[in-house]
Amino acid sequence: MLIVLITSMSLGCTTNASTVQDFKDIQESKPIKAKFEPEDGKVLMFVGQELEAVGGVPGFQNGYLDHFRKPAGWTAYTSFNGDLQGVWETGSWGDGYSNMSLQLQHFDDMALAIGIDFVNQEESLASGLMDDTILRLGNFLKNLGTRPVFLRIGYEFDGHDWNHYDRLNYIKGFRRVKDKFDSLKVENVAFVWQSTGWASNLDMLEQWYPGDEYVDWCGFSFFSRWDEQRMIEFARAKGKPVLLLRQVRQFLILQSSLMGRLKKLFCQILIKLRRLGGNGFYRFSRLLTKILMLSRQSATLIATGKITICGKATQPSVR
């Protein structure tokens, strides 16, 4: 499960918009710094990222949208490398199936956030060899009308160990995508520049920055080493709002005081269920997947005792 919080410059904690009309009202209500930016102190929540996790469509009806109130939007992924796989047809990225067109048929009143990579293709993208692909995507998004789209071009640009982008061609490629969209008069897309969060200091962020006129939002991945990020400071200096991206909620790394208290409570319950035996332990572990949005794999590891979450083994006794 992927959680994305889209925030104003003063980070808040309440949902501001949950429908396409709400986004439109935000745009018209007051002068703002970026497309679809909420009011100060407000947050827009997106969920994702594969069909199974999001749910809400035929064949995938046990995801977030099948159990909780509809959020402001959802996230999806594609690639310039794979001819926009997952946009028009169902495609798999090794983390489950994706199909934006299928979701668009059922999510009438939600915004869309798209992560798109071009690893090993930055020179082709920058030189114009992939212009036809850019234009195909641009026309597809333009035809969504007023639906807001947050396009994360070359997300985690500074994830050098796995993305290894060439800096100059990355910047040229990012700019070329926006320039081509502008040539099509695509007006419903906000352009997002996303860091890993921890890999770059302020000077490095400046070196990779495509420019104020090309970036609507700054963002960073929150799920790993979030306390080392410098993007919020950088975004403030540029006058840009911030996306907190890829907030995978893992029970093992909950650090807030509220989550700490919840962890203690759940551990007490698990230990008692372990002593009682039976299948109550396993039923509760499945409940954890919904409460804490754990992956099925994590829940299974907890239930079988392969992950210790309470400072002692939680695997139930065999009777």
What's the confidence (pLDDT) of residue 295?
45
Q: How many CA atoms lie within 13 A of 160 on its CB side?
A: 7
CA atoms of 229 and 157, how far apart (whole Å): 14
In contact, 25 and 37? CB cutoff 8 Å: no
* Residue carrying the six token digits 């469509």: 57
Instruction: Answer yes or no: pTM beyond 0.75.
Output: no
Structure tokens, 306: 């392969």
Please report the pLDDT score of residue 222 as a whole number.
80
pLDDT along the chain (319 residues), means of 10: 48 44 56 76 85 92 89 92 89 79 95 94 96 98 97 94 94 98 98 92 97 96 79 93 72 44 63 62 57 48 48 38
Domain limits, the chain: 2-245, 252-303
pLDDT at 87: 95
- Fold classified for 2-245: TIM Barrel (3.20.20)
- Measured distance CA(247)–CA(254) in Å, rounded: 11
Residue 99 tokens, joined? 């199909």
Task: Detail the DSSP E strand segments found in the chain.
Answer: 2-7, 14-15, 42-48, 73-79, 91-92, 97-98, 111-117, 149-153, 189-195, 217-221, 242-245
Distance CA 122, CA 148 (A): 26
Task: Kindly state the tokens that stand for 228.
Answer: 């080392």
pLDDT of residue 195: 94
Token pair 């993007």 is found at: 231
22-43 residue pLDDT tens: 555 555 555 556 889 888 778 8
pLDDT at 298 (0 to 100): 47
Question: According to the model, what pLDDT value does residue 124 have?
Answer: 97
Which of 159, 149, 256, 254 lies closest to 198 in space, CA to CA? 159
The pair of three-digit structure tokens given for residue 195, joined into one six-digit string: 């860091």
